[in-house]
Amino acid sequence: MAETRGGSAAQAERSGKRGTTYDELLALAHDYGVENNALFVAAAKQYQLQQEVLEMIHATLQEDGEAVTTKEYVKGRENVCVHPLVAQLPKHVDSANKTLSTMLDIVQKLGRLASSEDGLNAFRI
């Protein structure tokens, strides 16, 4: 399962609590014995891809400097508009959150905890 944890130190630093929560979920999957479950592995890989996309969106927004851009139309008139990636960001964040929720469901429904501790309560809202 180590291959799904990938990422740079900069990625881990930027992700803050998100990275910790994901790492805790991976540890929980290990404790519940589903870390090698095909569904869990596929969801973990999907989440990694989603994180990479989110990082690219953030990096592009930072490189461009502003979330507001101008477009020039006919006769040289400029219109102010929001950067197109700003609209995409919530969609990708929501998708990543749903993937994490799916991973938690897999742990909860398919896993069995060896000890009497229930670490799933730490992830409930």
DSSP 74-119: GGG-EEEEE-HHHHHHHHHHHHHHHHHHHHHHHHHHH---SSS--G
Domain ranges of the chain: 2-64+95-123
Residues 8-60: tens digit of each pLDDT = 334 444 444 455 578 888 898 998 999 999 999 999 999 999 999 999 999 98
What is the per-residue pLDDT for 8?
A: 39
> Cα separation of 119 and 11, whole Å?
26
What is the per-residue pLDDT for 117?
A: 53
Residues 64-122: tens digit of each pLDDT = 777 777 777 777 788 888 888 888 889 999 999 999 999 999 998 998 876 555 566 66
Is 44 exposed, middle or buried (CB count within 10 Å of its CB: 0-12, 13-18, 19+)?
Answer: buried
In this prediction the pTM is 0.66
77: amino acid identity, one letter: R
